[in-house]
Structure 1
Amino acid sequence: MPAVVEMLGITKRFAGFTANDAINLVVEKGEIHALLGENGAGKSTLMNILFGLYQPDEGEIRIREQKVQITDPNMANQLGIGMVHQHFMLVDKFTVTENIVLGAEPRKGVKIDIKKAEQEVQDLSDRYGLKVDPRAKISEISVGMQQRVEILKTLYRGAEIIIFDEPTAVLTPQEINELLEIMHNLVAEGKSIIFITHKLKEIMMAADRCTIIRRGKYIDTVSIESTNVDELAAKMVGRHVTFEVQKTQAEPKQAVLEVNDVVVASNRGVDALKGLSLEVRAGEILGIAGIDGNGQSELIEAITGLRKIKSGSILLNGKQIQNRRPREIIESGVGHIPEDRHKRGLVLDYSIGENMVLQTYYKSPFAKAGVLRYNAIYEYARKLIQQFDVRTPSEFTEARALSGGNQQKGIIAREVDRNPDLLIAAQPTRGLDVGAIEFIHQKLIEQRDAGKAVLLLSLELDEILNVSDRIAVIYEGQIVGVVDPKETDHDELGLLMAGGGKERRGAQT
């Protein structure tokens, strides 16, 4: 097949840091081409160059065998290139249609022809099996549907080459399967797709070929038919990666966290937690399994003081902490790796060094007489950056400039190093590559082995099964079963997660 994209010898530097070092990428017409690399390997930088957000320092780009200089995203659109960004660029208060046609609105005289726009969006949605309601507000639809709106934005502007930047990072397993089906539908229509990811199973399921880059350098391009997960992982991180979590048998002791019959309202005013009870003991990892939207977020917010509870109690080391201020709860011995690192984990305009002390900046040695001591802050940050392998040009770099995976590693470094009695890890490996996942799992198990209590919430069933010592299944705001990971499987967990087997509620321990 002819090449639709050729990126040859692409180099990009930022203040002495080389993000892309003479990288080659060739994408053929009608294929799904995966771009695989560790967090911070330079994947997004390379695609931002293709989309016109950055200009390369060296190298050339050919689109359909014609040399081009893509100076901005508008030019990329004119060349038939669209990009579905990892963090969606949508206006919450606008409808689906208003977001899709923004800047390219059909008009009737001087007015926007909204009826025509809605019909065009509906036709596109039907053609590609996207099933999007053109009149729905963005704030009222799921994350998976918001991603479909981003896809429709690119199609509306005539994209023939579509870049997906970590498209499954925030999706449920069902939404991931639906997205992969949509990608195959797009290719069947003659589109070409570049699929940025580090999820090896998805590459094996969806891609035709895969280009691997590591620390900004081109490593290889392979056919998916002739490779396997182990080979891809080794090429990505430069060493053999074990997919088995190595841990000894847990030896749990006293209860650290006790959640008793807690009722919590959602943002819509209905009860999201309906008398939920659970406990996490010192020296164990309790995994919470459940389909997204069954009360997991509200449970975390209730424990960490971000949401008031209506009734029930939450005890930490035997002392009630429900409805206290977040700082009080943090200082009583709670660490929190939030599920949304941008909204709850980082101040993106602060340096990564400043973000390392968000919980402790007012304490010695980071402050004296109310004045911050930046030498101490950045010395501490340098230690954590090295210890947790946070890939950043320096401790002074703004958090928003780091890759999503390295932002996450910064948060985990901060929370683990505080040595809390209870560590709440919500989606701790979302957006991380296999090498980083291996590292994070090791850190969670180290916390457990040090006698700490770990509450793990994840939508990845393999993660829950491999890391947890006990698994509590949440469904419609209640725990419907607590099982031993050595004595259960995906099928039983799936049944419980879907509301089957409710009689197991009495099995809670």
Structure 2
Amino acid sequence: MEEYVIEMLNIRKEFSGFVANDNITLQLKKGEIHALLGENGAGKSTLMNVLFGLYQPEAGEIKVKGESVNITDPNVANDLGIGMVHQHFMLVDTFTVTENIILGKETSKGGVIDIKTAEEEVRKISERYGLAVDPQAKISDISVGMQQRVEILKTLYRGAEILIFDEPTAVLTPQEIKELIQILKTLINEGKSIILITHKLKEIMEVCDRVTVIRKGKGIGTVNVSETNPTDLASLMVGREVTFKTEKTEAKPTSDVLLINDLVVKDSRGVEAVRGLNLNVRAGEIVGIAGVDGNGQSELIEAITGLRKADKGSIKLNNKEILNLPPRKITESGLAHIPQDRHKHGLVLNYSVGENMVLQTYYQKPFSRSGIMNFKQIFDKARSLISEFDVRTPSEFTPARALSGGNQQKAIIGREVDRNPDILIAAQPTRGLDVGAIEFIHQRLIDQRDNGKAVLLISFELEEIMNVSDRIAVIYEGEIVAVVDPKETTEQELGLLMAGSKRQEAGEETNV
């Protein structure tokens, strides 16, 4: 019989009567990448948090290399050679890479932390696995992709042989995803075993050996990746056939809703991130912005929504100047915003789901009268939106932080779409969502368009931009360098434009 390095047998986990894992079995072979696939809120992260010792199961057995174990906390997991790279990184921004890695496992000389020896050890591990991390860099100064590598280093520094990755590509750019996949392959070649939680079927097909599917807390089965395909996996995950191509009629745009002229916005270092940008979005259309991360997208969104002061230019919403107005004034002018960072700008995590549903409208009737909150109205509204947008939550009173990332996103989208805005700014709206939820969100964006509203979609997923947009504006070094029709371009041409090629050059290269 083939030895499994991890066996989770009939695991059951409940939260106040809500069954998150209903007798699930998962078995990991040595030297394999094993995908754990399921919808948002299906119980994937809960199952892995049980394995890592963050939760204790109500029933079931865990075996490591054939021996039954009781993993009471993450320290026990670490001692058993199990490490976890969480979806939301657990790093201290003001610490260096090395300080974060050794935190809780410091070595000292003469009563003083031996940082130099630790830095050398971190450097050796980084080079061995091709992680290319500077041990002396401060976390606040490095990219999201590099921060993830620090989390990987942290597990390797503690001697992990079994690594759990929770949605590792949810916050990465396409280039960083390619680099991560190479890192995963290197880890396997070095004798590690990996459990990969992901929604992205392409990644499963590219890098995984087997996949275990769970749906609504129940195990559906385990299949060999070589014997399946994305369509079958999507059906197993969602329980119905999923359409990968978004069906939509031809757009019928009318007048400008959003008009941006000569916009200049500086980043936090005082460098111009948006440089004389011009863009328009009309009622009845979806305009997608395609670009490599770091070309001014974040600063552009923040300037439009009032989260960052612009230095020059004009932003008009329905012919009224909104440049540098307070965010509330801008939202009251008819703008809604699905932020790219749902934790920083989208939710108050310690508030209930219901309270989060009225963050933009809590001071208005019927939710408030003479400064007094009407919680019955607030939670009645929340129940309606939870049902309409399929937010998987035990109740409207559940804290937002207890929801899966995808269900947090659906709550934000429900809140913003329900306000019936003239323009919806959707920044990475499907980041971290499963295929069923992506299909649902794309349809909501198209519904907004078909109801005569304007939609500005910012996404690093070229497939999403091509699939949903009626026009695509390519951003490069803070400027719109081309506007193309998705029906008349290719992902290759878009990629070249995003890298700075002019339209004619890009077209010539795609025809070679």
Shift of 1:106: 2.4
Structure 1 residue 109: deviation in Å?
2.0
> Which amino acid in structure 1 is aligned with residue 502 of structure 2?
G
Q: Deviations over 1:207-235 (max 9, x none)?
A: 00000000000001000000000010000
Aligned: 1:223 with 2:218: no
Match of 2:404 in 1: 403
What is residue 384 of structure 1 aligned with on the other side? Answer: 385
* Offset of residue 2 of structure 1: 1.5
User: How many angstroms does 1:104 deviate by?
Assistant: 1.2
Q: Say yes or no: does 1:7 pair with 2:8.
A: yes
Aligned to 2:485: 484
Which whole-Å CA distance do the structure 2 matches of 1:374 and 1:501 have between them? 55
| Secondary structure of the structure 2 residue equivalent to 1:394 | coil
Paired letter, 2:258: L
How far, CA to CA, are the matches of 2:143 and 2:431 in structure 1? 18
**Corresponding letter in the other structure for 1:135:** Q
With normalisation by structure 1, the TM-score equals: 0.98
Aligned residue for 2:36? 35
Q: Secondary structure at the match of 1:9?
A: strand
Q: Secondary structure at the match of 1:419?
A: coil
Counterpart Cα distance in 2 of 1:310 and 1:86: 35
What is the letter of the counterpart of residue 63 of structure 1? V
Q: Which amino acid aligns with 1:281?
A: R
Corresponding residue for residue 320 of structure 2 = 319
Aligned-residue offset at 1:504: 9.4
CA shift for structure 1 position 502: 6.4
Partners in 2 of 1:151 and 1:463 — Cα distance? 29
Cα deviation 1:222-257 (Å, max 9, x = unaligned)? 000000000100000000001010100000000000
Q: Give unmatched runs, 5+ long, in structure 2.
A: 507-512
Residue 105 (structure 1) aligns with: 106
Cα offset, 1:12, TM superposition: 0.5
Match of 2:431 in 1: 430
Q: Which amino acid aligns with 2:417?
A: V
Taking the aligned partners of 1:55 and 1:106, their CA distance within structure 2 comes to 30
Distance 2:395 2:119 in 1: 47
Provide the secondary structure at the position in 2 that maps to 1:203.
helix
Deviations 1:448-469 (A, max 9, x none): 0000000000000000000000
Matches within 5 A, 1:447-458: 447-458=448-459
Instruction: State the one-letter code of the partner of 1:363.
Output: Q
Q: 1:108-127 counterparts in 2 under 5 A? A: 108-127=109-128
Counterpart of 1:181? 182
Residue 136 of structure 2 corresponds to residue 131 of structure 1: no
CA distance in 2, matches of 1:116, 1:198: 39
How many angstroms apart in 2 are the aligned matches of 1:174 and 1:220?
32
Q: Which residue matches 1:279?
A: 280
- Kept in 2: contact 1:346–1:411 (CA 8 A): yes
For the residues of structure 2 that align with 1:468 and 1:393, how far apart are their CA atoms? 35
Does the alignment pair 1:339 with 2:343? Answer: no
How many angstroms apart in 2 are the aligned matches of 1:377 and 1:248?
Answer: 36
Assess if the C-alpha contact under 8 Å between 1:32 and 1:207 holds in 2. yes
Match of 1:252 in 2: 253
CA distance in 1, matches of 2:422, 2:359: 18
Q: Is 1:148 the equivalent of 2:143?
A: no
The CA distance in 2 between the partners of 1:502 and 1:155, in whole Å, is 45
- Alpha-carbon distance between aligned partners in 2 of 1:402 and 1:177, rounded to the nearest angstrom: 29
Q: Contact between 1:480 and 1:504, CA under 8 Å: does it hold in 2? A: no
**Inter-partner Cα distance in structure 2 for 1:21 and 1:352:** 24
Q: 2: distance between equivalents of 1:311 and 1:400?
A: 38
Is 1:421 paired with 2:406? no
Contact kept? 1:481, 1:504, Cα under 8 Å:
no
**Structure 1 residues 161-172: aligned runs within 5 Å:** 161-172=162-173
Q: CA shift at 1:46, angstroms? A: 0.2
Matches within 5 A, 1:298-309: 298-309=299-310
Q: What is the SS of the residue equivalent to 1:442? A: helix
SS at match of 2:501: coil
Q: CA deviation at 1:181?
A: 0.7
Counterparts of 1:325 and 1:428, CA distance in 2: 23
What is the CA distance between 1:114 and its match in structure 2?
1.2
Q: Structure 1: which 5+ residue stretches go unaligned?
A: none
* Identity among equivalent pairs (%): 71
Code of the residue aligned with 1:349 in structure 2: it is: N
Instruction: State the Cα RMSD in Å.
Output: 1.0
- The residue identity in structure 2 corresponding to 1:151 is I
The residue number in structure 1 matching 2:198 is 197
What is the CA–CA distance in structure 2 between the aligned matches of 1:398 and 1:51, rounded to whole Å? 23
Compute the TM-score of the two structures, normalised by the length of structure 2. Answer: 0.98
Alignment partner of 2:288: what SS? Answer: strand
Question: Deviation of residue 103 (structure 1)?
Answer: 1.4
Shift of 1:87: 0.3
SS at match of 2:280: strand
What residue in structure 1 maps to residue 53 of structure 2? 52
Cα separation, 2, equivalents of 1:147 and 1:201: 20
Please report how far the alpha carbon of residue 107 of structure 1 lies from its aligned counterpart in structure 2 after TM superposition: 1.9
Residues in 2 aligned to 1:375 and 1:288: alpha-carbon distance in whole angstroms: 40
Deviations 1:448-507 (A, max 9, x none): 0000000000000000000000000000000000000000011110011001116799xx
C-alpha separation in 1, matches of 2:330 and 2:57: 47
Give per-residue Cα distances to partners, 1:242-274, cap 9 Å, x unaligned: 101010000000000000000011001010000
Verify the 8 A CA contact 1:259 1:314 in the aligned structure 2: yes
Aligned-partner Cα distance in 1 for 2:461–2:365: 39
User: What letter corresponds to residue 139 of structure 1 in structure 2?
Assistant: S
The residue number in structure 1 matching 2:510 is none
Paired with 1:460 and 1:387, the residues of 2 have a C-alpha distance of: 26
- State the 4+ residue runs in structure 1 displaced beyond 3 angstroms: 502-505
Structure 2 CA distance for aligned equivalents of residues 72 and 28 of structure 1? 23
CA contact (8 A) 1:470 1:482 kept: yes
